C-alpha cells in the first residue's frame, strides 16, 4: 500500500495550519515558533518529492539560521500588547477576500493547465545536484556567495550602534 | 501517488497565506516572516515541477532552489537589520507609521 497521499495530506494540513498561525498569533514569539513548524513541514514535503538534499538545506538554513535570526530580532525589540487592531491594518478586512479570490483563480488555472501529473521521480541524486552546482552553475554559485558577503556587511552596518 | 496539481495547490495556498500576512499585519518583523513563507511556497513549486516534468537534464529546479535559499537568507538578514535600525530610531515597528518618504 502506498502511504504517500496520506503523508502528503497530513503534512499539508499541518503546514498550512502553522502558516495561518504565523499570521494570526498576536504574540510575535508564537508566530516565530509557528513559522519554524511550517518550515519543518515544508522540509517534509521536499522529502516526499525525492529532494533529500533540498530538505536538509531547508532544515539547516530556514529552521536553523533564519528562525534564529527572526527570534533574535524579536528579542531585541519591544512589542506593545493591545487589542486586535493594534496588530492588523484596517485593510486586512479587504485583503483576505482578495487573496482568497486570487488563490482560487490560480488553483483553477493549475487544474486546467494539464500538467503531467504522474510522478516521474525526476529529481536526481545528491551527487548529480553537486555535479550541476559546481560545473554548469559554478559562476552563479560564486556570484551568490558574493551576494551573501555583501548582505552580511550591509546587515552589520545597518544594525550596529551609531558612534559619534 | 500524489499528482503534481496537489503540490501546486499547497504552494499556492502557502503563498496566499504569506501574502495575506504581508498585507494585513502591522509589525515589520512579521512582514519579513511572511515574505519567508512566500519564498518557501515558491521553492515547493520549483521542486515539484523539477520532479514531475520530463526533462533531458533533471535537477535544474533543485539547483534554482539552492540559489533562492541563499538569496532568502541574505534578504532576511538585511530585512531584520533594517527592522532593528528602525526600532532604534523610532521605538516602534509599525509599518503604517513609516511614512517619511511620502511626498
CA distance A2 to chain B (A): 7
What is the pLDDT, as a whole number, of residue B96?
80
Can you tell me the mean pLDDT for B29-52? 93
A–B interface: beta-carbon pairs under 8 A: 256
The predicted structure's pLDDT at residue A126: 83
- The nearest CA of chain B is from the CA of A161 a distance in Å of 9
Mutate to test the interface with B, among A72, A115, A133 (most CBs of B within 10 A): A115
Q: Which of A22, A46, A70 sits opposite B80 (nearest CB)?
A: A70
In 3D space, the residue among B11, B66, B14, B41 whose CA is nearest the CA of residue A123 turns out to be: B66
Per residue in A25-75, pLDDT (tens digit) is: 988 999 999 999 999 999 999 999 989 999 999 999 999 999 999 999 999
Please answer yes or no on whether B34 and A12 come within 8 Å at the CB atom: no
Please name which of A48, A40, A34 lies closest in space to residue A2, comparing C-alpha atoms.
Answer: A48
Average model confidence (pLDDT) for chain A? 89
| CA triple A35-A41-A44, angle to 5 deg | 150
Percent helix, percent strand, percent coil in chain B, to nearest 5: 80, 5, 20
pLDDT above 90 for A4: no
CATH number 3.90.1150.10 given to A1-81: no
Grid cell 501529473 — which residue? A117
Identity of the residue in B25, B52, B55 whose CB atom sits nearest the CB atom of A115: B52
Residue of chain B whose Cα is closest to the Cα of A123: B51
Q: Which of residues 70-99 of A touch B (CB under 8 A)?
A: 70, 72-74, 76-79, 86-89, 91-92, 95-96, 99
Minimal C-alpha gap between B103 and chain A (Å): 22
Q: What is the pLDDT of residues A107-153, one digit of tens each?
A: 999 989 888 777 777 778 888 888 888 999 999 999 999 999 999 99
Percent of chain A with pLDDT over 90: 60
Q: Say if CB A35 and CB A18 are below 8 A apart.
A: yes
Per domain, the residue ranges of chain A are 1-81, 124-164
pLDDT at A164 over 60: no
Domains of chain B, residue spans: 4-97
- Specify the range with the lowest mean pLDDT, choosing from A86-90, B70-74, B75-79, B80-84: A86-90
Q: Please measure the distance between the N-terminal and C-terminal CA atoms of chain A and give it in whole angstroms.
A: 69
What was the pLDDT predicted at A115?
Answer: 82
Q: What is the CA radius of gyration of chain B?
A: 17
* DSSP reduced 3-state for A121: coil
CATH T-level assignment (fold) for domain B4-97: Helix Hairpins (1.10.287)
A109 touches chain B (CB under 8 A): no
pLDDT averaged over chain B? 89
Amino acid at each position: 500500500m502506498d502511504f504517500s497521499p496520506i503523508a502528503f495530506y497530513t503534512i499539508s494540513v499541518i503546514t498550512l495550519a502553522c502558516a495561518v498561525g504565523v499570521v494570526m498569533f498576536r504574540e510575535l514569539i508564537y508566530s516565530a515558533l509557528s513559522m519554524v513548524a511550517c518550515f519543518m513541514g515544508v522540509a517534509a514535503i521536499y522529502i516526499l518529492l525525492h529532494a533529500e538534499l533540498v530538505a536538509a538545506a531547508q532544515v539547516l538554513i530556514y529552521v536553523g539560521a533564519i528562525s534564529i535570526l527572526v527570534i533574535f530580532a524579536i528579542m531585541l525589540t519591544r512589542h506593545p500588547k493591545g487589542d486586535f487592531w493594534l496588530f492588523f491594518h484596517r485593510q486586512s478586512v479587504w485583503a483576505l477576500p482578495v487573496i482568497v479570490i486570487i488563490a482560487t483563480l490560480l488553483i483553477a488555472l493549475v487544474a486546467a493547465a494539464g500538467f503531467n501529473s504522474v510522478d516521474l521521480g525526476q529529481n536526481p541524486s545528491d551527487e548529480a545536484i553537486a555535479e550541476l552546482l559546481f560545473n554548469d552553475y559554478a559562476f552563479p554559485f560564486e556570484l551568490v556567495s558574493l551576494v551573501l558577503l555583501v548582505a552580511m556587511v550591509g546587515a552589520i552596518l545597518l544594525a550596529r550602534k551609531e558612534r559619534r | 501517488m500524489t499528482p503534481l496539481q496537489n503540490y501546486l495547490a499547497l504552494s499556492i495556498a502557502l503563498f496566499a497565506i504569506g501574502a495575506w500576512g504581508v498585507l494585513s499585519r502591522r509589525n515589520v518583523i512579521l512582514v519579513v516572516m511572511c515574505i519567508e513563507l512566500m519564498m518557501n511556497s515558491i521553492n515547493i513549486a520549483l521542486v515539484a515541477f523539477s520532479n514531475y516534468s520530463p526533462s533531458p537534464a533533471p535537477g535544474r529546479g533543485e539547483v534554482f532552489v539552492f540559489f533562492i535559499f541563499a538569496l532568502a537568507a541574505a534578504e532576511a538578514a538585511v530585512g531584520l537589520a533594517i527592522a532593528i535600525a528602525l526600532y532604534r530610531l523610532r521605538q516602534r515597528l509599525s509599518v503604517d507609521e513609516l511614512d517619511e518618504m511620502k511626498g
